[in-house]
Structure 1
Amino acid sequence: MDANLLGIYLNDHLAGATAGVDRSRHLARSCRGTEFGPAVEEVATEIAQDRRSLAHLMRQLDVPARRYKVSVGWAAEKLGRLKANGRLVHRSPLSTVIELEMLRVGVAGKLACWQTLRRLCDSEERLDAHLLDDLLRRAQRQLQTLEELHLRQVTTTFRTPDRATSGASR
């Protein structure tokens, strides 16, 4: 196994995981008190646990964390919040759609990382197949939850306002 390439790969995923933790916590705060709140909070908690699991696996494999990559992941997440959402100061329903999409992309990437590490279990005794199987199942569940929330938010966000409720009259 090429330890150098594995180190680059895992550090790239650690940077992504850092961004994912921050993004999911931001979304959880934004959804607090809404119907999405509990589900987003659970996913955010699990994403933070998954980042810790990745850091643990890196230590098991003697792969040092590259702080500059982690810092880049953190900064990229902060810059990602500066996107246009049709409103200057406040969140719009589009903010939630976009953030759910970003989290789905991140969780899909994490799932690919767990699949890669699971494949390496046959040749790398320091990897725990049972742990990776659990992480795979959890990532699949997170992806399903985020997809369901996304579809619900899309339905709400892009619905045409009803004339009766929007105050428009003929």
Structure 2
Amino acid sequence: MSPHMMAEPLHVYLNDHLTGAFGGAALADRMARTHPESRRAVELHRLARDIQQDRDDLVRIMQRLGVPVRHYRTWLGLAGERLGRLKPNGTLLRRAPLSDLVELEMLRTGVEGKAALWRALRAIADTDPRLDAAELDRLSARAADQARTLNHWHREVSEAVLAHPAETRRGDGASRTWP
């Protein structure tokens, strides 16, 4: 098998993940900006920064591997995040509490996919000197921490939105689902 044929799946795989990374970073940033008054605001901003850093780390890894970034794919990730805002959420003109729950689930899915990416790269790090096993272990650990945080928040927001829906609205129409 030619080296080109062996490299091609890696190129596609990493660009697929980069597309998701751009969308996930944009979603995390928007979630942080949407809840500036919550007691979790600092954690949301930290998570958004970490996810942006993970995206940047992926770009650097792609450069080391000689995988070209397909820039049109990064725009697809950003467009996908924006299109995700159009989902039916029970209201037409304002943000609904259900939006918080759905966005958390989308972000959790992205973080779980990112953790799988780091594990997949780690599986070949011992035979590819361009990959740094310690870096991939660190990225995997950070993804696991992010997943734990999102799982905890998911439980809290699920309870607020699904078990006590009337308590999640303020008089101004804003959401109170983030404790």
Tell me the TM-score normalised to structure 2 length: 0.87
Gaps of 5+ in 2: 167-179
Q: In the alignment, which of 5, 8, 18 is matched to residue 4 of structure 1?
A: 8
Q: In the alignment, which of 120, 123, 135 is matched to residue 119 of structure 1?
A: 123
Residue of structure 2 in register with 1:166 after alignment: none
Deviations 1:7-55 (A, max 9, x none): 0000000000000010100111111111221221111110000000000
Deviations 1:80-101 (A, max 9, x none): 1100111112112111100000
Runs of 4+ in 1 over 3 A off after TM superposition: none
In 2: Cα distance, 1:161 partner to 1:110 partner = 32
Are the equivalent residues in 2 in contact too, given 1:107–1:142 (CA < 8 A)? yes
In 1: Cα distance, 2:155 partner to 2:41 partner = 16
Deviation of 1:159 after TM superposition, in Å, equals 2.1
Query: Which SS does the other structure have where 1:86 is aligned?
Result: coil
Q: In the alignment, which of 32, 49, 52 is matched to residue 48 of structure 1?
A: 52
- Aligned pairs for 1:12-161 (under 5 A) are 12-160=16-164
Deviation of 1:161 after TM superposition, in Å, equals 6.0
Give the alignment's Cα RMSD to 1 decimal.
Answer: 1.5
Query: Which SS does the other structure have where 2:101 is aligned?
Result: helix
Query: Which SS does the other structure have where 1:158 is aligned?
Result: helix
In 1: Cα distance, 2:148 partner to 2:7 partner = 33
Are the equivalent residues in 2 in contact too, given 1:104–1:147 (CA < 8 A)? yes
Query: Which SS does the other structure have where 1:105 is aligned?
Result: helix
In 2: Cα distance, 1:116 partner to 1:161 partner = 40
Gaps of 5+ in 1: 163-170
Tell me the TM-score normalised to structure 1 length: 0.92
Query: Which SS does the other structure have where 1:5 is aligned?
Result: helix
**Equivalent position amino acid for 2:46 in 1:** E
Change (3 A) 1:57 1:82: same
Change (3 A) 1:161 1:3: closer
Query: Which SS does the other structure have where 1:34 is aligned?
Result: coil
